[in-house]
Structure 1
């Protein structure tokens, strides 16, 4: 079974949690896109949902496939968000942002009563940090913000390259017009302390540590999906 098939299995399991009339946060990334495709089939069969996309990329796919959309301002309280993850540990702490939508993903997740993570087995880790941590930053004062992050990392015993994400010949910009620094810290022994400290740096718009947001994770393996719960 290839990676895409496992993503489809996880997405199909998550779809079982979607009920008629739900206000639904719809995530970003390759696994979330498999969920959108399956959701669109149910919508075509008569399922009524109102979706809030976490990125322009997801919005385009939903429009193309006929999934009804609203803005978060129109639906500020959501029943459920379904999204992927770049890493998930046994306590349902996540690293997200590989697709560059971490700010909107976190806002939508926080506005939801429940968040379900869908992923394949390769995303499950004992300790977060093998995947570089995305940190969304303001363009103004970028160098000062990077230095502040480096000093913070050193104070927490973390080291590794902090690189500005590129896109083609230039630098990647998020849907909100910000830049992303990818921090290759390796093992993050205290994700909570890092998250709190990053939030205190003025130039940091958001970071990819999602803590106390996921309600459960559906993890697809070669044979079947399993559930991670707190």
Structure 2
């Protein structure tokens, strides 16, 4: 029996049309999207992909999905990606896998964005999942102190006992906020802080969310 993640992830692959340039997201749900894309390619589907992380690129190449560098494309037809939280307005938090910067760049270059999630990722209010900030290493400690003083409860993301390093060579601070009452205002505030490269708030980007719910699917569309 398929998990909710697998059901949603594989369903998203059937939104892909022949000849598309496809943004390939990062994460456990999109993993199943890539596997289903391989099935469809074996049946004759033609596509080219732009990967949002080194991890995704490695898997895509193993599956035989042709990969283009981001710099080589003007526009991307469709991006399929996961999300860590999604609210009723289809705003989301992303970056749990550490690929938020490249995920946002690819999404902004896309004509359409679809997210795939299990039902636990749908929330009334964003913020229970820690909000990632990608920051430059040079200002990591000073940003941590500033965010701590503002009550945002930052933590340096660690991996194997060392600060996590993104594909762009940056670090991540996770803000433990519990609830975000004004996502747009918070995004603007954080982006204006020197040393913040990008926030994990993805606002007004996804046009559709495919949610795995038990053994069925729910489709949510941005109003």
> Deviation per CA, 1:47-69, whole angstroms, max 9, x where unpaired?
10010000000000001111111
Match status 1:23 vs 2:21: yes
Q: 2:185 aligns with which of 183, 193, 203?
A: 193
TM value normalised by structure 2: 0.96
Q: Distance in 1 between matches of 2:135 and 2:12?
A: 32
SS of corresponding position for 1:78: coil
- Runs of 5+ in structure 2 lacking a partner? none
Cα RMSD, aligned residues only: 1.2
Match status 1:75 vs 2:73: yes
Q: 2:209 aligns with which of 208, 217, 228?
A: 217
Q: Give 2:198's aligned residue.
A: 206
Between the two proteins, the alignment pairs up a number of residues equal to: 222
Q: Give 2:129's aligned residue.
A: 131
Q: Give 1:43's aligned residue.
A: 41
> Deviation per CA, 1:185-206, whole angstroms, max 9, x where unpaired?
1100001100011111120011
Q: Distance in 2 between matches of 1:67 and 1:41?
A: 11
- Runs of 5+ in structure 1 lacking a partner? none
Q: Give 2:174's aligned residue.
A: 182
Q: Distance in 1 between matches of 2:26 and 2:112?
A: 17
> Deviation per CA, 1:105-141, whole angstroms, max 9, x where unpaired?
0000000010000000010100000000010000012
Q: Distance in 2 between matches of 1:202 and 1:221?
A: 41
Report if the CA contact (8 A) 2:82-2:116 is conserved: yes
Q: Distance in 2 between matches of 1:164 and 1:121?
A: 28
Q: Give 2:157's aligned residue.
A: 165
Q: CA deviation at 1:160?
A: 4.7
SS of corresponding position for 2:3: helix
Q: CA deviation at 1:76?
A: 2.9
Q: Give 2:103's aligned residue.
A: 105
SS of corresponding position for 1:73: helix
Q: Give 1:6's aligned residue.
A: 4
TM value normalised by structure 1: 0.93
Q: CA deviation at 1:147?
A: 3.0
When residues 148 and 160 of structure 1 are mapped into structure 2, their CA distance, relative to the original with a 3 A threshold, is: closer
